[in-house]
Amino acid sequence: MDEQKDVAAPFAPDEESVVKLYLGIGEAERQFGTIQSAYRLLASTWTLAALGGIGYILTSRKSLGIDVDKQLICGAIALSGAASILMLWLVDIRVYQQLLSQYYEEGMAMEAGESWLPQIRNQTRRTFKGWLGLYVSAYYILLSVFLLVVACLFLHHSPMVTGSTFGSFGWIATAAGLDAVFIAGILWSVWPTKAIRKVRAPDSAETRTNHYKATAIARSRRLPDPQTSG
């Protein structure tokens, strides 16, 4: 009880208000989850579109009108598809996932402070132990690497790439290296055990949890309404 003395409880909301706030946080989480699902669906669609474009180039009997072999064009399509999926992954994980995390952390603090609420977020955190971001990232990585492999195969058989100064292996190594660096950079940013070198925000999760505990204690101590008592 003494540990709550330094936590200000400006008001003691009733349980109905707490439930409305709790449901509001959940609704915001669902909206961000829907947005992220759309990005993941878009990544799959983008992969199929790249494969469809490659199939059209290979089966088309019409002249392309440019002095470039079909293997190079197909490799460029696959490379652009792989890069686009990495961009979708970056926006998903580094933008919308971070916005979702703000509501998720607040919901966790509310569940810890108001123990009578469903402990869904805390149970989810214990289940995945912070690795959920990496599980989602594996989806984008597999799609990107798949298109990268397709691109490397076409570049290896492209007469223009093979006859260039760097050769096919030089261009393939460059493309694979850039892709690996980009993937490693994003993975490092979502790694659960990564030490985050920054000053803790004053409104930390622990502070928010203590705030909800303090308001719960204040509500329990609140005198009954004179109109309804006795």
**Tell me, what's the pLDDT at 200?**
45
pTM listed for this prediction: 0.75
CB atoms within 10 A of CB 211: 19
**Tell me, what's the pLDDT at 194?**
53
**Tell me, what's the pLDDT at 39?**
94
* C-alpha span between 73 and 116 (Å, rounded): 60
- Contact between residue 113 and residue 210 where contact means Cβ atoms under 8 Å apart: yes
Residue 136, CB half-sphere, CA atoms under 13 Å: how many?
24
| Residues with Cβ within 8 Å of residue 162, at least 6 apart in sequence | 156, 168
Structure tokens given for 46:
């983008």
**Tell me, what's the pLDDT at 147?**
94
**Between vectors from CA 97 to CA 95 and to CA 102, what angle results, nearest 5°?**
100
**Tell me, what's the pLDDT at 222?**
62
| pLDDT profile of the chain (230 residues), mean per 10 | 48 79 91 93 94 89 69 91 92 88 87 84 80 84 93 87 80 87 81 50 69 80 49
Q: What are the structural domain ranges in the chain?
A: 2-194+202-221
**Tell me, what's the pLDDT at 93?**
87
